[in-house]
A and B are shown apart, each in its own frame.
Chain A
Amino acid sequence: MTADAASAAASAPAGAPGGPARGPRARTGASYLRYGAGKVGGAAVSLLAVLLTSFFLFRLIPGDPVKYMTGGRQVSAEQLAAYRREFGLDLPLWEQFTDYCRKALTGDLGTSYQFRAPVIDKITEALPNTLLLTGTAFVLYTALGILLGTRSAWRHGGLGDRLNTGLALTLYSIPSFWLGLLLIIVFSVGMGPVPGLFPTGGMESGGEEGFAYVVDVAHHLVLPVVTLVAVDYGQTLLVTRSALLDEMGSDYLTTARAKGLRDDLVRRRHAVPNALLPTVTLVFINLGRTVAGVILVETVFSWPGLGGLFYQALSVPDLPLVQGLFFVFAAAVIIMNTLADLIYPLLDPRVGR
């Protein structure tokens, strides 16, 4: 959900390669700079737009933060007024907005209502946890997706391909929280002959340090990563497979084979690099998404990441925290898309001329 919202706010990366290659090599450097500057400038404008619109976007959420935070306990009317004063909610909207802009442009994202800590602290506290989980999963599902996708395409129609795509599609359509819970029941609690090998949740047992701590975290990481990889690798597999299938009939592959190249080399050296562009787009979109965390998997495995923090912030609504998180999520997507845009011309010289 968060990633979608963020992607919508971000500029989409340039798609397929443009027209035929032309122009002398000398012009390439200058035109790449021009191209790059345009992309970076566009990204900066997008970031600014996100920063400004998020203020209004989240004020559309129904609900009063003060009432939510004081709900169910003893508060006096004076206390309620004090809360509103403290959060600046008693000021007119335009004044709140100018205040927000002034602070945001100096790098101050405000103070969380519910945790009474600087938003930036709450984000930096949970960001490494999220990156560890989603980053590890990202590397694994991307590698697995490309590897299996290539193999599927190369021997398409065969039993291996059918099994591969079938399994990937099945896993892709399984709800991640359900798969996660299933893994917990089988591999954490243990079922039948399977012993309970992994912890049921959390990121650490607590009280470990040094190498023991790293091992402990790795132990906690296994099941959530397996869940994410299982659910996500199918997408990369399918994109890689179809892109490679498009290339398979090309003349240059026949030429390569005619020269007596090993099939393995024809695939790795010729077909895959040319078919990789759509996958690169997907990789960067996924990379942008890793920051937003994965609310469902984080919840099932009680992983203390950004996804859970965003959910908590929304339910108040804890406006400064929501705004800050939204900005970080959107920024990650924008930056990754811009990076993708900058890398395309290097992968395929036809882009960016």
Chain B
Amino acid sequence: MNTQDQHGRARPGPRGRRSRTLRFGTAALMLWAGLATPLGPAPQRAEAAEDKQVLTVAVAQSVDSLSPFLASRLVSTSIHRLTYEYLTNYDPKDARPIPGFATKWSPSADKLTWTYTIRSDSTWSDGKKATAEDAAWTFNKIMTDEGAAPANGSYVTNFRKVTAPSPTKLVIELKKPQATMAALDVPIVPKHIWEKVGDFSEFNNDKTFPIVGNGPFVLTGYKPDSYVRLKPNKDFWRGAPKFDELVFRYYKDGDAAVAALQKGEVSFVQGLTPAQAAALEKQKNIKVNDAPGRRFYALATNPGARTKDGERFGDGHESLLDEKVRHALFMAVDRETIIDKVFQGHAVKGEGYIPPRFPQYFWKPSAGQELAHDPAKAAQLLDEAGYRKNGDGKRVGKDGKPINYRVLCHATDPNDKAVGQYLTEWWGELGIGVTLNCLDNVSDPWLAGTYDLAFDGWSVNPDPDFVLSIHTCAALPTTPDAIGATDNFICDKKYDDLYAQQLAEYDPARRAEIVKRMESRLYDTGYMNVMAYPNAVEAYRTDQIKSIETMPSDAGNIYGQDGYWSWWSAVPAAAEESSGGSGSTGVVVGVVAGVVVLAGAGVFLAMRRRSTADDRE
């Protein structure tokens, strides 16, 4: 290497260095600005009115699709509730079906034909009238095109024919009676827009905005994992929402969402942990809503996995086939402790299968029927069943080996792990071993029936048909490899008979009575130990939202309601109280601060370098 060459080429220090740095910096900045500029069309510009009232909701779940024919995640179906009408809605007070796109509905005498009167005061956001023809087209599309069936295909399996004899009349003919016809949660889409769609299985309805709908809001913008924006539908028949804009903004981390609420960047967060709720409760201008949830949290027993034809598979412990053993396990679980210690009070003690949030279907065991916490009685039941303790204090199965149950738990759910620790302790005292099998994805052992007990939980709809159906024999898989709709392979004749009765019972009160008998039967079998109904823990800023409707109205939740009540009803707080810190001043201050810090660092380094270089020259 020729040092002379290099020395000769070297330009006198700082100036050359600086101009090179400058050139590099400029090039980098240009490249960077290119990346920062969107590839697609610029997002729709919001009206820059100073006093615009925006309701911002923090969400974490990604939208799977904005097509009502494909979307199944809660965030997407909630958006569809806001942007399309469904035939019926649910009363915010008690979740009973009330008019939506249909104003009335009635069955024929033979129970096989339902006639809906469609409202005449609903228009699509492009100005066209919404009619029964749109509804008939939507249902027929789902029935005839497999590509349009993924989201709502299950609602139409019993439909024979759907017609629209007039713009205000929709007729649905059934194959057999079905009591759930006032609970068809299917968004009705505008025929004149959707009949132009080619392949429904790949059309996501997320390219051209605003999206034509007839709900209380109109979808005006969407960017995956960034935001969903909606504007009020001024012509909505029930009245326009009061906020000027509704934005679902993405926060993938719960603590960051809480920080955004504290700052006022968002108006509402949900899915709070007990620690987050406790921290927010102390803050000014924030209201924590600890509401009864729609989920039940249960321990499901493997009753011996089998197919519809009765072929057995899996390897559930044989002792669990004995009802006495199941009752003993039930009685050894202290549900009060689970509510206090695991849920830290943010849950209600479990009783029947359907949560008390749905009062017309809520059932709880009578005093004589209840399998209350009683470890001594549990030990006695196990003795009676013939599972006695050996010399080591372990209960022994029929095969002569100590009993050890494998309990499937969700690795992502801290509650499962905590309750699992309690089960290990409680059942251990009975002489029964527990192996907690916590997995990211429990579906493989679950479907194969290679577990003994499992943590289980479902969200319950206003119409309980679905959560009831997953315990019928008809839901079992056809072969051991197939996937059935069954939850945990329960198949009980008495329960099945009651299920068939309620599905054909069109009188709501009588149907509710049958549903309660089903819950009673399920409880007695001891297959499903409903331990808790976890609360929905949410919080909102009272300086942004003055009032908002919960569901149920008295004490209910806000996010993920059966209906559009919360966002539709929300009333903005007076403008001057708002403390949103994300205005343009904030942006300017932030950018200026960033630039100053960077420039300062640069100057500091340059000066330091120069001075030391001078010293050593």
Tell me, yes or no, whether A binds B: yes
User: Which residues of A approach B to under 8 Å, CB–CB?
Assistant: 61-64, 66-80, 82-83, 86, 111, 114-117, 124-126, 128, 131-132, 135-136, 139, 147, 177, 181, 184-185, 188-190, 195-210, 213-219, 221-222, 252, 255-256, 259, 261-265, 269-270, 298-302, 304, 308, 312, 315
Do B35 and A132 have beta carbons less than 8 Å apart? yes
Rounded to whole angstroms, the CA-CA distance of A90 and B472 in the bound complex is 26
Do B589 and A197 have beta carbons less than 8 Å apart? yes
The minimal Cβ–Cβ distance linking A120 to chain B, given in whole angstroms, is: 13
Find A304's partner among B3, B37, B224, B229 (CB 8 Å cutoff).
Answer: B224
- Given the interface pairs A62-B444, A74-B154, the reply to whether A304 lies near B485 with Cβ below 8 Å is no
Rounded to whole angstroms, the CA-CA distance of A270 and B594 in the bound complex is 35
Which of B211-219, B320-328, B435-443 lies at the interface with chain A? B435-443
A177: B residues at CB distance < 8 A: 253
Find A255's partner among B3, B262, B485, B617 (CB 8 Å cutoff).
Answer: B3
A86: B residues at CB distance < 8 A: 146-147, 150, 201
Do B262 and A189 have beta carbons less than 8 Å apart? yes
Rounded to whole angstroms, the CA-CA distance of A209 and B225 in the bound complex is 18
Do B202 and A111 have beta carbons less than 8 Å apart? yes
Do B226 and A315 have beta carbons less than 8 Å apart? no
B154: A residues at CB distance < 8 A: 74-76, 79
The minimal Cβ–Cβ distance linking A321 to chain B, given in whole angstroms, is: 12
6 shortest interchain CB distances as A-B pairs: A63-B441, A207-B46, A304-B225, A209-B42, A200-B260, A74-B466
User: Which residues of B approach A to under 8 Å, CB–CB?
Assistant: 1, 3, 6-7, 10, 13, 28, 32-33, 35-39, 42-46, 62, 64-65, 67, 70, 72, 146-147, 149-150, 153-155, 157, 201-202, 204, 221, 223-227, 229, 247, 249-253, 255-257, 259-260, 262-263, 265, 439-441, 443-444, 447, 458-459, 461, 466, 475, 477-478, 482-485, 581-582, 586-587, 589-591, 593-594, 605, 609, 612-613, 616-617
Do A315 and B256 have beta carbons less than 8 Å apart? no
Rounded to whole angstroms, the CA-CA distance of A190 and B589 in the bound complex is 13
Do A302 and B252 have beta carbons less than 8 Å apart? yes
Do B259 and A185 have beta carbons less than 8 Å apart? yes
Find A116's partner among B37, B39, B201 (CB 8 Å cutoff).
Answer: B201
A-B contact pairs, 10 of them (CB 8 A): A68-B443, A72-B459, A135-B35, A136-B32, A185-B259, A189-B259, A202-B249, A209-B42, A213-B42, A264-B616
Find B70's partner among A116, A126, A131, A298 (CB 8 Å cutoff).
Answer: A116
Rounded to whole angstroms, the CA-CA distance of A82 and B616 in the bound complex is 78
Rounded to whole angstroms, the CA-CA distance of A76 and B594 in the bound complex is 55
Do B586 and A197 have beta carbons less than 8 Å apart? yes
The minimal Cβ–Cβ distance linking B194 to chain A, given in whole angstroms, is: 16
Do A201 and B227 have beta carbons less than 8 Å apart? no
Find A206's partner among B146, B155, B229, B262 (CB 8 Å cutoff).
Answer: B229
Do A66 and B581 have beta carbons less than 8 Å apart? no
Rounded to whole angstroms, the CA-CA distance of A77 and B42 in the bound complex is 43
The minimal Cβ–Cβ distance linking B46 to chain A, given in whole angstroms, is: 4
Rounded to whole angstroms, the CA-CA distance of A201 and B259 in the bound complex is 9
Residue on A nearest B203 in the bound complex, by CB: A116
Do A300 and B253 have beta carbons less than 8 Å apart? yes
Do A125 and B224 have beta carbons less than 8 Å apart? yes
Do B250 and A304 have beta carbons less than 8 Å apart? yes
B247: A residues at CB distance < 8 A: 206
The minimal Cβ–Cβ distance linking A221 to chain B, given in whole angstroms, is: 8
A264: B residues at CB distance < 8 A: 13, 609, 612-613, 616
Do A200 and B153 have beta carbons less than 8 Å apart? no
Do B441 and A116 have beta carbons less than 8 Å apart? no
Do A196 and B263 have beta carbons less than 8 Å apart? yes
Find A117's partner among B204, B253, B255, B256 (CB 8 Å cutoff).
Answer: B204
Rounded to whole angstroms, the CA-CA distance of A62 and B411 in the bound complex is 13
A222: B residues at CB distance < 8 A: 590, 594
Find A207's partner among B229, B251, B459, B589 (CB 8 Å cutoff).
Answer: B229
B221: A residues at CB distance < 8 A: 206-207
The minimal Cβ–Cβ distance linking B226 to chain A, given in whole angstroms, is: 5
Rounded to whole angstroms, the CA-CA distance of A265 and B72 in the bound complex is 65
B46: A residues at CB distance < 8 A: 206-207
Do A82 and B7 have beta carbons less than 8 Å apart? no
The minimal Cβ–Cβ distance linking B458 to chain A, given in whole angstroms, is: 6
Rounded to whole angstroms, the CA-CA distance of A135 and B259 in the bound complex is 27
- Given the interface pairs A62-B444, A204-B226, A206-B229, the reply to whether A188 lies near B157 with Cβ below 8 Å is no
Rounded to whole angstroms, the CA-CA distance of A215 and B586 in the bound complex is 12
